[in-house]
Amino acid sequence: MEQARVRKDIPALRSMTYLDSAGAGLPPLSVTDAMKAIVDDWSRTGEHWEEWLLDVVECRERFGKLVGAKGREIGVVPSVSVALAAVASSIDFSRKKKVVVSSLNFPTNIILWQRMRERGILMGVEVLRHRNGVVPIEAYEKMIDDNTALVSIDYVSWLSGSREKVKHIAEIAHRRGALILVDAFHALGVFPFSVKRDGIDVLVSGFYKWLCGPHGVACIYAAEDLLKGLDPAYLGWHGIEGNVIERLRGGRDPFDVPFSQSSAKPSRSAARFEWGTWATVTVKGAIEAMKFAVKNNPSSRFKIIRELKQELTAGLEKVGAKFLTPPLETNLGGGIVTFRAKKMEAVVARLLKKKIIVSGRFGHVRVSPHFYNTGEEIERFLTAIHTIKE
Ligand SMILES: Cc1ncc(COP(=O)(O)O)c(C=O)c1O
């Protein structure tokens, strides 16, 4: 991978010091060009529905390759929050009614389960408290029991940037007969991993952060042998067995026979999580984002991200920063460094005046360099933060 070439493909990097990929990654021109092209073509030549449906199939296949799964194990949906709801409504909570989550999860991956408890679908939601940005593995050991149906965690925390010991937690969950669901939004595009090696049952992720893709599209992975047991409470016409994509792929006309009005059987594949028509433009963008991710080798990316993080942490230590992010030696993490800042809004605003983009989160400043950032940009940030501290 050649960083100079990558930077050329992302024009926004020329006008600012962008250190907020945990908020949203900067898309390369290949992503936005593909999206523009489809919008333009749509206006000039009309809808190409059947062709666009096959983009969804390509999106599933490419996502599957990224996480080490088959295309039929992937469903394409509009957002991570929708993905979580689709999975939540498919799990059998009739026998075991407890869900264990981390307090470091993104809000949807906590409030969704609390709402289900409030509606009487779940009996308990155990929110594991973090200590200095990390949930100790012992807390999982203690709280995951035989009544636990699901453990739902974020691979890398959006707040502290700590990386969960997913494989270990999956082992604990499986020992107790629970499923493990992982939100990998801050892992995909940062470091390589495989759902099978990690023992992940269900995974969700979007595209608009470290994958440098668009909003409005996300994927669900569900292990093939579990699909049958993930029985959606709600089905749309794209989620049923014999849906239009399945018909097209079987060489049939999508409307050759009517859809049953007496029964709604879910598709045997992860299409069972897909409800209605996709935003074609964003699916195109997601495909290009995944090509970009594969082209720019995921393992060398992480090496750069780690080096930038090291530089950032060392520089911040010199100005006495108090980190929420655990040290690299104890937690490899993703690409996030978060430190305390009482006047968070003022710090973020003053950096913005210097065209340095970071984000503020509940009394903290979060800095998140990606593989397209340079050591000079980190230096620029550190110089600026130094003057702000003074
Ligand atoms: C870990 C994580 N999951 C989910 C989301 C939200 O995803 P969506 O808006 O697609 O529901 C975010 C957004 O910041 C996030 O950080």
Asked if the model's pLDDT at residue 269 lies above 80, the reply is: yes
pLDDT digits (tens, 9 = 90+) for 292-302: 999 988 678 99
Mean pLDDT of 153-159: 98
Query: Per the CATH hierarchy, to which homologous superfamily does domain 3-19+297-389 belong?
Result: Aspartate Aminotransferase, domain 1 (3.90.1150.10)
Separation in Å, CA 287 to CA 61, 75, 212:
10, 14, 11
Q: What is the pLDDT of residues 114-128, one digit of tens each?
A: 999 999 999 999 999
| 390 pLDDT above the threshold of 60 | no
Sign of the alpha-carbon torsion through 190, 216, 157, 148: negative
Closest ligand 1 atom to 84 CA: 11
Neighbours of 360 (CB within 10 A): 17
In angstroms, the Cα distances linking 246 to 54, 65, 250, 271 are: 10, 20, 6, 9
Q: What is the mean pLDDT of the chain?
A: 96
Query: Is the separation of the CB atoms in 238 and 100 below 8 Å?
Result: no
Mean pLDDT within 205-219: 98
Domain 3-19+297-389 and domain 33-293, same fold? Reply is no
Structure tokens belonging to residue 129? 């408290």
The CATH class given to the 33-293 domain equals: alpha beta
Count of Cβ atoms closer than 10 Å to residue 245 Cβ = 20
Per-residue pLDDT, 194: 97
**What pLDDT score was predicted for residue 1?**
61
Using a pLDDT cut of 90, give the percent of the chain over it.
Answer: 95
pLDDT of amino acid 332: 82
Binning pLDDT at 50, 70 and 90, where does residue 214 land? very high
Nearest to 241 by CA among 250, 92, 60: 250
Mutate to test the pocket of ligand 1, among 80, 82, 220 (most ligand atoms within 8 A of CB): 80
- Give the pLDDT score at 130: 96
Average pLDDT (233-256) is 97
CA angle 238, 243, 247 (to 5 degrees): 140
pLDDT of residue 70: 98
How do the domains of the chain map onto residue ranges?
A: 3-19+297-389, 33-293
In this prediction, residue 389 carries a pLDDT of 60
- C-alpha of residue 154 to centroid of ligand 1, in Å: 10
Give per-residue pLDDT as tens, 316-341: 999 999 999 999 888 888 999 999 99
Pocket lining for ligand 1, CB < 6 angstroms? 79-81, 106, 108, 154, 158, 183, 185-186, 206, 218
Average pLDDT over residues 27-34: 98
Give the pLDDT mean for 121-142: 97
Residue 258's CB is within 10 A of a number of other CB atoms, namely 6
